[in-house]
Amino acid sequence: MMGYYLIGGLVMLVSMYVSNKLKSKFKHYSKLSLRNGMSGAEIAQKMLADNNITDVKVISVAGQLTDHYNPRDKTVNLSEAVYSQRNAAAAAVAAHEVGHAVQHATAYSWLGMRSSLVPVVSIASKYSQWVIIGGIALAASTAFGSWLLLAGIIMYGMGTLFSFITLPVEYDASNRALAWLENERMLTQEEHAGAEDALKWAARTYLVAAIGSLATLLYFISIFLRRR
């Protein structure tokens, strides 16, 4: 399992770098006040209205970088800072989350695919590593161990698939957000550049997670092939 720990350690280091960079970017652009004086909540509500979406609520939730869109109850959930603050970072995050609401309203296929996988992935990700560990332990002595290992790999693969399906969903939401902010002239050139930079780093957190998951999956597959 040494290879597993090496991959995990490398992914963790890269993830920490990207996460720290993301926090640094958001802290920096949180100081860039919007000339239009609108809060994140007001940005979100206007983007919803401009897209003729009337059944989605914008609400405030506790925490930092806890912003998300919930398709089940149709709510754009903005962290307290994003909800109330009036800066480029808040505008970027608010518009991005509404981007997901627009995806939902327009039946964006990648979002639908990701949503359909949530129930399966929530179970698979919870147990896959335990199944894999059990399969590795038993593979050397019983044929059942090899099949158990394969089952664990398939379960882990579902999580990897989910992480890659998430990429176009997140990138598309950012593209929708930035296009709307530009087309509606919501931000100055400097503010727009800040929003774009912040969303770029946010997207990289998903990219690192997907690549790390794929690397780990390939490592588990290599173990299975060596023990056949």
User: Among all chains, which residue has been given the structure tokens 């998903």?
Assistant: 206
Q: What is the DSSP letter of 35?
A: T
Q: Give me the mean pLDDT over the 110-123 stretch.
A: 94
Question: In this structure, what token pair is assigned to residue 151?
Answer: 């089952």
In order of 98, 171, 174, 208, 215, the CA distances from 158 in angstroms are 27, 21, 25, 17, 14
Position 74 scores a pLDDT of 97
Give the closest residue to 16 by CA, choosing from 191, 205, 184: 205
3: confidence class by pLDDT, cuts 50, 70, 90: low
Relative to beta strand 68-70, strand 57-61 is: unpaired
Q: How far apart are CA 158 and CA 30, in angstroms?
A: 37
Has residue 150 got a pLDDT over 90? Answer: yes
Lowest mean pLDDT among 33-42, 54-63, 125-134, 185-194: 125-134
Mean per-residue pLDDT of the chain: 93
Sheet holding 68-70, edge to edge: 57-61, 75-79, 68-70
Q: What is the DSSP letter of 64?
A: S
Position 217 scores a pLDDT of 94
Position 62 scores a pLDDT of 95
Has residue 223 got a pLDDT over 70? Answer: yes
Q: Percentage of the chain surpassing pLDDT 70?
A: 97
Q: Give me the mean pLDDT over the 54-60 stretch.
A: 97
Tens-place pLDDT, residues 162-200: 999 999 999 999 999 999 999 999 999 999 999 999 999
Within 10 angstroms of residue 49's Cβ, the number of other Cβ atoms is 10
